[in-house]
C-alpha cells in the first residue's frame, strides 16, 4: 500500500472549449468532474496502475463529500479528516486551439488545532502499513508551513521512505526533515529557491548546487515536454518521453511521483523507475480526467522513453 497525504484537497471541474472568447456565452458538452490536489491525484494514478492506495486529507462540506465519493469510485481508500470551510473547487478551462489551461479556484478549508492532531494521529496509524508515503501539494492557510516536518519525522521513525512534491515555503520547511525524494517542476524550482534558470545545462548546474546546499538525498525536477531530471545516489539522469498531443495535461507531474514510488516498492533501481515514470507521465496527458492512465498507452510509450546518465 502507498499512502498519499494531501492537506489541501480539491475537486477539479474541467471544461473543454475551442477557444476562450471574453464577453460571449461559451458552451460545451465536453466536461468532467475529477479529483484535485496533488496527493490525491497521485492516488488516482496509483489506482489506475493497480496499486492499493490510501488518500489522507482535510475534507469539508458537500464538496468534500463529493470528493470522497469520487475516490471510492476509483477504489482508493479515503481517510478524511473533516474540518470547517469548504474544499477547493478548481474550474479548469481547457482551450483546444491554444492548448492553454486556465484555473479559477474557489473555496478554502478551515482547520483548528484539534483537527490537526486528528490528522497526525490518523497518519501515524497508517504509516506502518505503507511501503511508501507521498506528501504533496500546498497547505491550507490555517495550517503552519512546517506541518510536513512532523509528518516526515514520523515516517523516518517508522522506517518508511517518503517523497515530497510541493513548492515555496512548504517544501523549504519539509526539506529540513530529510525526505528521501524531493520533487518539483522547473517553474517551482525557480520560485522556491529564488533562481533564474537559462538553458538545460544551467538548470543542471543550479539543481546540483541546491541539492548540495540543502543536503537533498534525491532531487527530481520535471520539465513538461522537455522531460525530467533526477539527481540521485545512483547517478544523475535526464529522462525524455515521446511528445504526445495532450487532452488534459493536469496530473502529469503527480504521475511521476506515483510511478517512482511504485517502482521503488517493487525493488527497482532509479534508471528503471525513471523509464516507467516517463511513460506513465506521457500517458496521463491522453485522458480527459486528471490522473487517469491507460496501461496500453503506457506499454506503447515506454519503448521510446530514453534515460540518459549525465
151: pLDDT confidence band, cut at 50, 70 and 90?
very high
DSSP character for 146?
Answer: T
Residue 291 domain boundaries: 2-21+28-309
At residue 73, does pLDDT exceed 90?
A: yes
Mean pLDDT, residues 251-270 taken together: 92
Predicted TM-score (pTM) of the model is 0.93
DSSP labels for 85-104?
Answer: E--EEEEEEEETTT--EEEE
203: pLDDT confidence band, cut at 50, 70 and 90?
very high
The candidate with the shortest Cα–Cα distance to 10, out of 136, 134, 95, 175, is 136
At residue 172, does pLDDT exceed 80?
A: yes
User: How confident is the model at residue 267, as a pLDDT?
Assistant: 96
Per-residue pLDDT tens for 277-306? Answer: 999 999 998 887 877 888 999 999 999 999
At residue 66, does pLDDT exceed 90?
A: yes
CATH label of the domain that carries residue 87 = 3.40.1190.20
Q: How many structural domains are present in the chain?
A: 1
Buried b (16+ CB within 10 A) or exposed e, 246-259: bbbbbbbbbbbbbb
- Specify the range with the lowest mean pLDDT, choosing from 100-104, 120-124, 279-283: 100-104
Alpha-carbon gap, residue 108 to 292, rounded angstroms: 25
31: pLDDT confidence band, cut at 50, 70 and 90?
confident
Torsion 65-71-74-75 (CA) sign? negative
Straight-line distance from the first to the last Cα atom of the chain, in angstroms, rounded to the nearest whole number: 33
3-state secondary structure of 132: strand
Amino acid at each position: 500500500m502507498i499512502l498519499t497525504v494531501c492537506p489541501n484537497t480539491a475537486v477539479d471541474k474541467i471544461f473543454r472549449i475551442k477557444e476562450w472568447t471574453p464577453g460571449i456565452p461559451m458552451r460545451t458538452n465536453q466536461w468532467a468532474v475529477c479529483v484535485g490536489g496533488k496527493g490525491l491525484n497521485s492516488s488516482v494514478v496509483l489506482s489506475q496502475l493497480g496499486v492499493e492506495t490510501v488518500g489522507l486529507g482535510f475534507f469539508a462540506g458537500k464538496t468534500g463529500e463529493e470528493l470522497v465519493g469520487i475516490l471510492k469510485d476509483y477504489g482508493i481508500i479515503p481517510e478524511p479528516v473533516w474540518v470547517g470551510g469548504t474544499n477547493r473547487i478548481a474550474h479548469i478551462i481547457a482551450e483546444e486551439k491554444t492548448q492553454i489551461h486556465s484555473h479559477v479556484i474557489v473555496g478554502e478549508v478551515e482547520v483548528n488545532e484539534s483537527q490537526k492532531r486528528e490528522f497526525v494521529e490518523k497518519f501515524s496509524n497508517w504509516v506502518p502499513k505503507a511501503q511508501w508515503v507521498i506528501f504533496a501539494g500546498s497547505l491550507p492557510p490555517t495550517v503552519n508551513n512546517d506541518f510536513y516536518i512532523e509528518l516526515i519525522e514520523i515516517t523516518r521513525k517508522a522506517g518508511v521512505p517518503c517523497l515530497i512534491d510541493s513548492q515555496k515555503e512548504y517544501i523549504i520547511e519539509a526539506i529540513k526533515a530529510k525526505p528521501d525524494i524531493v520533487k518539483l517542476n522547473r517553474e517551482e524550482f525557480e520560485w522556491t529557491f529564488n533562481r533564474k534558470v537559462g538553458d538545460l545545462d544551467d538548470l543542471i548546474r543550479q539543481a546540483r548546487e541546491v541539492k548540495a546546499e540543502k543536503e537533498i538525498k534525491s532531487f527530481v525536477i520535471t520539465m513538461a515536454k522537455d522531460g525530467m531530471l533526477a539527481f540521485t545516489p545512483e547517478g544523475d539522469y535526464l529522462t525524455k518521453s515521446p511528445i504526445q498531443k495532450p487532452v488534459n495535461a493536469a496530473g502529469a507531474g503527480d504521475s511521476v511521483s506515483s510511478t517512482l514510488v511504485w517502482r521503488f516498492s517493487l525493488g527497482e533501481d532509479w534508471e528503471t523507475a525513471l523509464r516507467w515514470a516517463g511513460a506513465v507521465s506521457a500517458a496521463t496527458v491522453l485522458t480527459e480526467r486528471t490522473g487517469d492512465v491507460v496501461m496500453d498507452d503506457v506499454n506503447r510509450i515506454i519503448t521510446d522513453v530514453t534515460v540518459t546518465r549525465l
